[in-house]
A = this chain, B = another copy of it.
Amino acid sequence: MYFSSDNWAGAHPVISRRLHEAADGFASAYGTSDLDRKVADRFNEIFEREVEVFFVGTGTAANSLALASVAKAGGLTFCHHEAHIHTDECGAPGFFAHGSRLYPVAGSNARIDPAALAAAIARFPDGGVHFGQAAAVSITQATEFGTVYSLAEIDAVKEVARSRGLPLHMDGARFANALAALGATPAEMTWKRGVDILSFGGTKNGCWMAEALVFFDREHAREMPYLRKRSAQLFSKSRFIAAQFDAYLEDGLWLQLAAHANAMADRLREGLSRSTRSRNAWETSANEVFAVMPKVLMDEAFAAGARFYDWPVPADQPSLAGPDEVLVRLVTSYATSTAELDALLGIIG
């Protein structure tokens, strides 16, 4: 009963097998192999247009390099205060972008509020040399709170960003889960909405290490070959990342895996909605579920072998959990089974 994170899962057998099959033979290194090229083309198909793709090793790298590619001196990237780049990457974005800062913005359940974004950006007028300069806006889709921006909500954020000429980055560590939740196409959820740069995550959804940085504007990608190499993210045997993506993106496997994870989360959400001992903390729609339960129940669940993390109660929802209660995060993945889920619900439901 592992619900700690989708990165506690392993690698999906189809992907793992493809990796194994790719182990044989020689191929030119550093992203120049035939397989690398084939997979790059696959990205063009998926996004229904030409894109620039760069494989990297971690989501931290994808996000940090994305922001580095549009960095300015004294620059600020506006993101939700719960954004992974803000809370969980040990300052990597600031390191990659030479001291550039993240400016936290409010909004319900990890989604940026466009009005709050506009107000935040307005604090950094052009020419305000003491304050620094607005450089980019970053959203996470699906968000860190299991919620998903609707297409209209992405549009609203985009409008604010565009009104100041700021590029829009999307942290898609759980991109497939968001797609599956919205029933949108990759194009609809990205460049058709005005997203300029995408961190395209495969690791949390069945790959073991496959992340990509996708640029919809070639201009933003110009320095990326050097930015990537300089930050030690150019893999000599890059074809093995390509092999994972090759299997991942073939015949819609990636969307099936995400749909499965989401379906498991749906079942969990439903179970919680019927539970007498636990409850959904807020409405979620991707593969992360947040629940409030008595502390003793969490202990019971752990004693029974369940694993998941408690979570800090958001500052803007202080009364979410009672004094003897705890907020927990439950993450499903491609590897979550119905049996496992029902076992969990048998305890906490």
Residue positions of A touching B, CB distance < 8 A: 2, 4-5, 7-13, 15-17, 19-20, 22-30, 56-61, 64, 72-76, 87-101, 127, 129-133, 203-204, 208-209, 223, 225-227, 229-237, 239-240, 307, 335
Residues of B near A29 (CB, < 8 A) are 4-5, 7-8
List, sorted by A's number, 25 A–B pairs whose CB atoms are closer than 8 Å: A7-B237, A8-B27, A9-B26, A11-B237, A16-B20, A19-B19, A57-B57, A57-B209, A58-B234, A58-B235, A59-B236, A73-B230, A75-B91, A88-B131, A89-B229, A89-B230, A89-B232, A91-B101, A91-B230, A92-B231, A96-B99, A129-B234, A204-B236, A208-B240, A232-B233
Which of A58, A64, A204: most chain B CB closer than 10 A?
A: A58
Tell me, in angstroms, the Cα distance from A237 to B22 when the chains sit together.
20
Residues of B near A27 (CB, < 8 A) are 8, 10
Copies in the complex: 4
Q: A232 and B75: CB pair below 8 A? A: no
Find the B residue at minimum CB distance from A340. B26
Residues of B near A73 (CB, < 8 A) are 90, 223, 226-227, 230
Which of B12, B204, B236 contacts A7 (CB under 8 A)? B236
Q: A60 and B237: CB pair below 8 A? A: no
Tell me, in angstroms, the Cα distance from A2 to B132 when the chains sit together.
26
Tell me, in angstroms, the Cα distance from A326 to B88 when the chains sit together.
39
Q: B240 and A209: CB pair below 8 A? A: yes
Q: B130 and A229: CB pair below 8 A? A: yes
